[in-house]
Amino acid sequence: MEQMHRLIEIVHTAKRMVFFGGAGVSTGSGIPDFRSEDGLYRQKYRFPPEQILSHTFFIHRTEEFFRFYRDKMLYLNAKPNAAHWKLAQWEQAGRLSAVITQNIDGLHQMAGSKRVLELHGSVHRNTCMQCGAHFSAQEILNSTGIPRCPCGGIIKPDVVLYEESLDERTLMEAVREIRTADVLLIGGTSLQVYPAASLIHYFQGDHLVLINQSSTPADKNADLLITGKIEEIFSQVDFL
């Protein structure tokens, strides 16, 4: 199709691509997103997921938070898909300078991407709130009730919850990457979560490419808009 030719042309002539993505990048790896038809937000819980994944809920209903978190946020057997692999290859070939992700699953790193800016943290880092000791995601999964450090402190996943602010340094680096990119590839994100979604407005390069399964508020700004599964679309772009 015409749009695929255009994508291949843009990718092949790009000098400094940056990728900005979200949960849709990992649905092909079996991790549900939040806002698709079968996403987490369409399922029924005692509390809405936005409330469970908030700082207030974590503090006041910690045990319930971890029940949901273990059940719905930890997919430790998931493997990277074609979208993750392709981005890692482009970086290795010196054509892509960074992956900026809202995902917390660590799949970009598992595929070999080196420069990954995790705007919302990672399930793979977990820290004792009392002594600062670190724990793996597997240790959180294996624990029951409220996960605790040997010192007695509660272990908190380094995931940005609603009401919490994003890491300042990661944000600044993301802005710098987007500002200096000649091509911004955006994919698998509803662009509804702020401030992450506002970062794309720093782009001043040549081509803004948007690949998503459903419409987003940025569709009108895209030079190239492709509707479909990002893992299928990226796998059709040859290795550079």
Q: From CA 238, how far away is CA 240, in angstroms rounded?
A: 6
Whichever of 62 and 213 has its CB closer to ligand NAD, that residue is 213
218 within 8 A of 198, measured Cβ to Cβ: no
Active site includes 108?
A: no
SS3 207: strand
Catalytic annotation, pick one of 55, 60, 84, 120: 120
CB of 148 to ligand NAD, least distance (A): 25
User: What x-and-dash track marks residues 208-237 binding ligand NAD by CB under 6 A?
Assistant: ----xxx--------------xxx------
Residue of 13, 43, 51, 192 interacting with ligand NAD (CB under 6 A): 192
Q: How far is CA 70 from CA 7, 54, 114, 116, in A?
A: 38, 15, 27, 24
Burial (CB count within 10 angstroms: exposed 0-12, middle 13-18, buried 19+), residue 77: exposed
Going from the C-alpha of 111 to that of each of 90, 91, 92, 136, the distances in angstroms are: 12, 11, 11, 19
Phi and psi torsions of 184, nearest 5° = -110, 115
Out of 96, 98, 178, 193, the residue judged to bind ligand NAD by CB under 6 A: 193
- Is it true that the peptide bond before 48 is cis, omega within 30 degrees of 0? no
Does 31 bind ligand NAD (CB under 6 A)? Our answer is yes
Quote the least distance from Cβ 130 to ligand NAD, whole Å: 26
Least distance (Å) between residue 152 CB and ligand NAD: 29
Does residue 138 touch ligand NAD according to CB under 6 A? no
Residue whose structure tokens are 């995790």: 118
Is there binding between residue 34 and ligand NAD (CB under 6 A)? yes
Q: How far is the CB of 201 from ligand NAD (least distance, A)?
A: 16
Amino acid in position 126: N
What are the backbone dihedrals phi and psi of residue 110, each rounded to the nearest 5 degrees, phi first? -65, -30
Would you say 34 or 149 has its CB closer to ligand NAD? 34
Subset of 107-136 contacting ligand NAD (CB under 6 A): 120
Is residue 105 at the binding interface for ligand NAD, with CB under 6 A as the rule? yes
Q: Which residues bind ligand NAD (CB under 6 A)?
A: 22-24, 26-28, 31, 33-36, 39, 102-105, 120, 187-190, 192-193, 212-214, 229-231
Active site residues: 120
